[in-house]
Structure 1
């Protein structure tokens, strides 16, 4: 429980603030309602982001302890206030041309209007986030250095394509171009720009992280590790942002109170980060060897859902169920794999 101690403290503070915020508006009953809504939002955030926590853990375990602590502290502030509060305001600012302060006032005083503006930018957000997550998935799928495979021949075949230079970029661009025919003519250019921006951002961050982690000799090894950890930290924050986009927009289906949304998502984000650290400290990824595979397939599914949502509305529960299925199947496969190899070891030593 020590890994979740801070999360429980943050939860108590956020639920207390939610009650106080509702109490100011309509007394005890309104305060209790805000707490309940914040609780629902936090549970949804946790359930929809478990695959995010697994992938985060696979990256976090390669970072030094200093950057792991920053991921839990400053990283949380960036995730909660930056990606779930400030960034949506910035999106509305660019979409409408209204200044930042006015949009912030709109979010608090006219949440319905603010939600409408934010929802109208969903196509661009989905294109950017969907293509970034698709690159994350393809980076895993086409990794030809991966020795352990989950889906046997199919996964080995895809990983063999990784020998082709920039195969994940090629596939992502082909999908982005292929989507153009299914979009309204007025949306095509903005989707193309947003999607390319998501791909370029992934390539930049991933390339810098690889560059910093490639050196293994000399006096600058320590600095290389730190710089590699720094780029991994940036990568994690962008990955979290891609996950949070739809969560923020979807939260308006439950409530249009931006303060309650922020507090509820803050609790969820804190638990996801604690879960990430827990997975690293307990060596869960080493025990459940296919968990990372399941999480990446869930991310691939989320990327596809985000792209499809540009034309068709897809309930959040669908995303959650698909992610849960992949994670559950990967856990069962991991247990089976561990038992099988334990039996082989017994036979070998007998």
Structure 2
């Protein structure tokens, strides 16, 4: 299972490092290796979030996520995206931007860094909305109950998460954006515009995917009512579907989301990945300003994140360790705030990576403790039953 899931990642790593050694020597090989580790450390929480969404999709769309999705992630976000940002912010043509990236790396790095406020505002607000919608939702399983219970009550107010996100954006625009180190000067209007764009993107993509998912659930409920007299036969068919789909049971249907619902969920996943890639791309320029080294190194890391996502889904890890999603969402909330703060202040990527690792590690340990406690309670119940029956 491990080799089957991570086989392509291992192959890409070997090929990528070999290519780096041939093109740039030992120094280039070391840089690509460091960038790969950087990407994995910064995006581990991304894999957990992706797994929570991907398990709702059927096997076909899971394969699309791992194939077409990785091409978008590697070439689109890690290689093409920085060039597009430079072209837009510097008002250059695509060819000019590419020429600049290849032949004038220092100026290219400067332009990418100058675009950081808009990138951070867009990605920060998008990720913040993911966290807020999670934390304001009423859930049967709570990790930090003392915090999550009152926040769930606040979440009953419609659009409350939007109000909070806009409030954070307004504070950012009037504080950290007024005197920006990246590019210099007042970037309040840029931050406001980019933050609103991130919010709108989240509402559109998330709203459409949610609509189709809800519609699929309603159709499934209607089918269940119409075919209640065939329940026994349907149960058998569902069990076969579960086996054919790798044992998954999550999502709107047993077979998982398909069609339009899965397509928009796929788009949603890609936008999430894009938001997570922003800090990695910007941080990479602290190591090298060669876009090909950045693309190769971050691409290898992105491949592992994709494979890890699929591994978590197939192993049912999120069902076994129920607090992992909580930890990942708290990590997303922390990353969102870090991105916004970096509009003005520099925060080392080690700190960014450690925050996510600590939160996910804590949620994993809490899950293990919960499982042990419930297991002990179950054993105690069985022992009591045996003694009683023996009497």
1:178-201 Cα distance to aligned partner (Å, 9 max, x none):
222212273111110100000111
Pair 154,246 (structure 1): closer, same or farther in 2 beyond 3 Å:
same
- Counterpart for residue 324 of structure 1: 357
What is the DSSP-based 3-state SS (H/G/I as helix, E as strand, rest coil) of the residue aligned with 2:78? helix
Task: Tell me, in whole angstroms, the C-alpha distance in 1 between the residues paired with 2:380 and 2:308.
Answer: 36
1:338, distance to aligned residue in structure 2 (A):
0.2
1:131-165 Cα distance to aligned partner (Å, 9 max, x none):
00000100110112x11000012111111222110
1:16, distance to aligned residue in structure 2 (A):
2.1
Q: Is 2:33 the counterpart of 1:46?
A: no
| Backbone CA RMSD of aligned residues | 1.5
Task: Tell me, in whole angstroms, the C-alpha distance in 2 between the residues paired with 1:320 and 1:203.
Answer: 27
Correspondence 1:97-246 to 2 at 5 A: 97-144=91-138, 146-182=139-175, 183-184=177-178, 186-215=186-215, 216-217=218-219, 225-246=258-279
Query: Aligned match of 2:90 in 96, 101, 111?
Result: 96
- Counterpart for residue 18 of structure 1: 20
What is the DSSP-based 3-state SS (H/G/I as helix, E as strand, rest coil) of the residue aligned with 1:163? coil
What is the DSSP-based 3-state SS (H/G/I as helix, E as strand, rest coil) of the residue aligned with 1:143? coil
- Counterpart for residue 5 of structure 1: 7
Task: Tell me, in whole angstroms, the C-alpha distance in 2 between the residues paired with 1:54 and 1:202.
Answer: 19
**Aligned residues of 2:56 and 2:257 also touching (Cα < 8 A):** no
Aligned length: 340
- Counterpart for residue 337 of structure 1: 370
- Unpaired segments of 5 or more residues in structure 2? 180-185, 224-252, 384-391
Q: Is 2:250 the counterpart of 1:257?
A: no
- Counterpart for residue 243 of structure 2: none
Task: Tell me, in whole angstroms, the C-alpha distance in 2 between the residues paired with 1:48 and 1:184.
Answer: 28
**Aligned residues of 2:31 and 2:297 also touching (Cα < 8 A):** yes
Task: Tell me, in whole angstroms, the C-alpha distance in 2 between the residues paired with 1:226 and 1:147.
Answer: 29
**Aligned residues of 2:127 and 2:336 also touching (Cα < 8 A):** yes
**Aligned residues of 1:64 and 1:226 also touching (Cα < 8 A):** no
- Unpaired segments of 5 or more residues in structure 1? 23-30
Q: TM-score, normalization: structure 1?
A: 0.94
User: Which is further off, 249-258 or 223-232?
Assistant: 223-232
Q: Is 2:269 the counterpart of 1:275?
A: no
**Aligned residues of 2:61 and 2:258 also touching (Cα < 8 A):** no
Pair 44,163 (structure 1): closer, same or farther in 2 beyond 3 Å:
same
1:236-286 Cα distance to aligned partner (Å, 9 max, x none):
111111111111111011111111111101100000000000000001111
What is the DSSP-based 3-state SS (H/G/I as helix, E as strand, rest coil) of the residue aligned with 2:141? coil
Task: Tell me, in whole angstroms, the C-alpha distance in 1 between the residues paired with 2:58 and 2:93.
Answer: 40
1:323, distance to aligned residue in structure 2 (A):
0.7
After TM superposition, which residue ranges in structure 1, 4 or more long, deviate above 4 angstroms? 221-224
1:23-77 Cα distance to aligned partner (Å, 9 max, x none):
xxxxxxxx12111110010011111111000000000000111110011111001
1:97-121 Cα distance to aligned partner (Å, 9 max, x none):
1111111111112111111000000
Task: Tell me, in whole angstroms, the C-alpha distance in 1 between the residues paired with 2:178 and 2:171.
Answer: 13
**Aligned residues of 2:57 and 2:257 also touching (Cα < 8 A):** no
